[in-house]
Structure 1
Amino acid sequence: MSDYIGLDVSLEDTHLCVVDGLGAVTARAVARTDPDDLAKVIRDLAPKVKTVVLETGGQSAWLQQGLEARGIPAVILDARQAKKALSGRLNKTDSNDAEGLAQLARTGWYREVLAKRPETRRIRAVLMARELLVRQRRDLSSQVRGLLRGFGLAVGRIGHAGFEARVRELAQAEPALLAALEPLLAVRRVLDRQLDALTRQLGAIARASDEARRLMTVPSVGVMTALGFITAIDQPHRFARSADVGAYLGLTSRRYQSGQVDWSGRISKQGDSLARSLLYEAANVLMTRVKRWTRQKAWAVRLAGRRGGAKARVALARKLAVMLHRIWVDGTTFNWANEPA
């Protein structure tokens, strides 16, 4: 009889539960969160294990690939689905969660999640680091504006390069305020330098990638959007249809149907939030800054006249996702010759 194992992973320790083909619990254990330790415990508890499941999380890809490399058939399942399936249990403990995951593995009632390749995760780490610094710089600039506003001083609309000079100019009227702003401006300069370094690093990665260079032939798609899309999809051939990419990135509408009720709501916003936001920004750039017309831009502009700009940009972002996937799979580039004048 086959055995199934559920892993409830935490930062230091992982709870294991083994169930047989009939659902009876045959063993429980706790091991250090490390592929070597987990593989040893799994071999001792269930030498002929059929499936080992763990939820999506920060360490899931590392653990799954480590177990696979050691001959353990490990699968990652969607944490949202697992949460709903386990919510009916009376008591929530790590041990009970491990048992619930093992039962999901036995029944096969789960959605498998693909573990991204190590090289993809490395690029993703650089992208996320840059995104974090962008948010910190934006928050810091907002704090500086807020401090000045308390004294009736407004920075106004000004470019990134001239921000610090404008702040110093305004702060001359309040010398004591400049002493408070100086440390914030110094931190902002450090953020600028590190952001420039990460941006150059990502640019070098994109230039070395044939896929990224081809995706960047699409109008409004730059280095960040191309790499964000590549790291979100990772393996394009796992999608049978390019149209499925929009749903995968959370750019399709939710639907609820029960009895006589049937409605579609806002987009689901499931999946990769970074890739989704980058595609939305690319759609906005295509509609507002790219001067040359494409079929996609013309379609979005017409849609904006009927449904509003925000919905048009979301719809255009979905079209861009489908187009980028098709270009990636076919090995082609964007062809301006097929676009209207």
Structure 2
Amino acid sequence: MPQYAALDVSNEETAIHIINETGAVVWQGKRASDPDVLTTTLRRYAPDLVRVGLETGPLTPWLYHTCKALGLPIVCLDARHARAATALQRNKTDARDAATLAQLVRMGWYREARVKSYAAHAVRHLVGARAQLMGVAIDLSNQIRSTLKTFGLMAGKGAGRAFENRVTELIEARSTIAAIVEPLLAAWRAVRGQIGVLDRRLIALAKGDATCRLLMTCPGFGVIVATSFAAAIEAPEHFRHSRSVGAYLGLTPARHQSGEVDRTGGISRRGDRLMRTYLFEAAASLLVRVREDSALKTCGRALVERLGFKHAAVAVARKLAVVLHAMWRAGTPFQPWPVATA
């Protein structure tokens, strides 16, 4: 008899629930959150396993890819959709969650989530590490500026080497202030050095990747945004329509309609927050810094007059995502003035 299973994963242990085609329990229990252990258990208690599901989570890429390589018919469930079912339980436990997920897997009442490859995750974490260090560097520089202001010393608006030279000049011959600022400045300098290391890795990655080089033909698109977008989308075939990319990245308006109520709010903010931020920055750069004119920039300027800069930049960011996917799928560089085809 066909069997279905679900895994409710935690760091140490995973709750397993196996049912047959009628929904009756075949076996349930807990095992270590290890792909080999989970695979052995499922093969022992579910020899006719049709499908096993697990939710999206921090351990999902490792468990999904390893279990799939071991031959398990595993699928990844969108946690946001699955939560609508698990939230109905009066008493919430890992075992009950696994039981609910198993029924969803059996009936097919779930939305399958695409699990990115290890390569895409590696690039995403490389970009994420850089963003984290950038935040640390900004916090350190702000702390230095704040400390100096307390003593009436202004570091000015300079950044990078100019900022370092100005701070060094201000604390010279001021031993009390130097004792506070020098450790902060040393930490800031070290963090900046590691940001440079990550930048060089990302530049090398972008130069060696044809997709990134193609994406960087779009004005306002640099190494960081190109590598992030390539890792976020992974393959253009994952989206049937280019306009779906905007929704995937949380750049489309959220809508609530019920009876006579039909309300359209701000963007949904679903998906990759960092990628959404980078697209917004690229759109702002296109509207303000890029000198070359294009249909996208002309449209953005018109939106600025009508909606204001922030809302216009969000709209241009959404259009950028659509244009980039279309470029990638067609294998053609950015066209400032695209010609409509019949």
Q: TM-score range by the shorter chain?
A: over 0.9
TM-score (norm 2): 0.95
Question: CA offset at residue 62 of structure 1?
Answer: 1.6
- Going from structure 1 to structure 2, the CA distance change for 1:72 and 1:302 (only over 3 Å counts) comes to same
Q: 2-side partners of 1:178 and 1:241: how far apart?
A: 58
Give the alignment of 1:97-116 within 5 angstroms: 97-116=97-116
Letter in 2 for 1:258: S
Letter in 2 for 1:46: A
Question: CA offset at residue 213 of structure 1?
Answer: 0.3
User: Residue 200 of structure 1 aligns with which residue?
Assistant: 200
RMSD: 1.5
User: Residue 160 of structure 2 aligns with which residue?
Assistant: 160
Q: 2-side partners of 1:93 and 1:166: how far apart?
A: 57
Q: 2-side partners of 1:33 and 1:285: how far apart?
A: 45
Write out per-residue CA displacement over residues 2-25 of structure 1, whole angstroms, 9 at most, x where no aligned residue.
Answer: 221111111122111112222222
Q: 2-side partners of 1:92 and 1:156: how far apart?
A: 55
Write out per-residue CA displacement over residues 178-203 of structure 1, whole angstroms, 9 at most, x where no aligned residue.
Answer: 11111111111111111111101110
Structure 2, unaligned stretches of length 5 or more?
A: none
TM-score (norm 1): 0.95
Q: Percentage identity across aligned positions?
A: 43
**Number of residue pairs the alignment of both structures matches:** 339
The reply to whether residue 248 of structure 1 matches residue 275 of structure 2 is no
User: Residue 72 of structure 1 aligns with which residue?
Assistant: 72
User: Residue 285 of structure 1 aligns with which residue?
Assistant: 285
Write out per-residue CA displacement over residues 279-337 of structure 1, whole angstroms, 9 at most, x where no aligned residue.
Answer: 11100110110011111011111101010000000000001100110111111111347
Q: 2-side partners of 1:87 and 1:154: how far apart?
A: 54
Q: 1-side partners of 2:74 and 2:174: how far apart?
A: 63
Letter in 1 for 2:219: P
Q: 1-side partners of 2:85 and 2:9: how far apart?
A: 17
Q: 1-side partners of 2:261 and 2:155: how far apart?
A: 51
Question: CA offset at residue 177 of structure 1?
Answer: 1.9
Segment drifting more, 163-172 vs 6-15? 163-172
Do the aligned partners of 2:279 and 2:320 also contact (CA within 8 Å) in 1? Answer: yes
Q: 2-side partners of 1:228 and 1:28: how far apart?
A: 40
For the residue of structure 2 that corresponds to 1:220, the secondary structure is: coil
Give the alignment of 1:299-338 within 5 angstroms: 299-336=299-336, 338=338
Q: 1-side partners of 2:9 and 2:174: how far apart?
A: 54
Do the aligned partners of 2:7 and 2:53 also contact (CA within 8 Å) in 1? Answer: yes
Structure 1, unaligned stretches of length 5 or more?
A: none
Question: CA offset at residue 156 of structure 1?
Answer: 3.2
Q: 2-side partners of 1:153 and 1:236: how far apart?
A: 53
Q: 2-side partners of 1:175 and 1:53: how far apart?
A: 62
Letter in 2 for 1:99: A
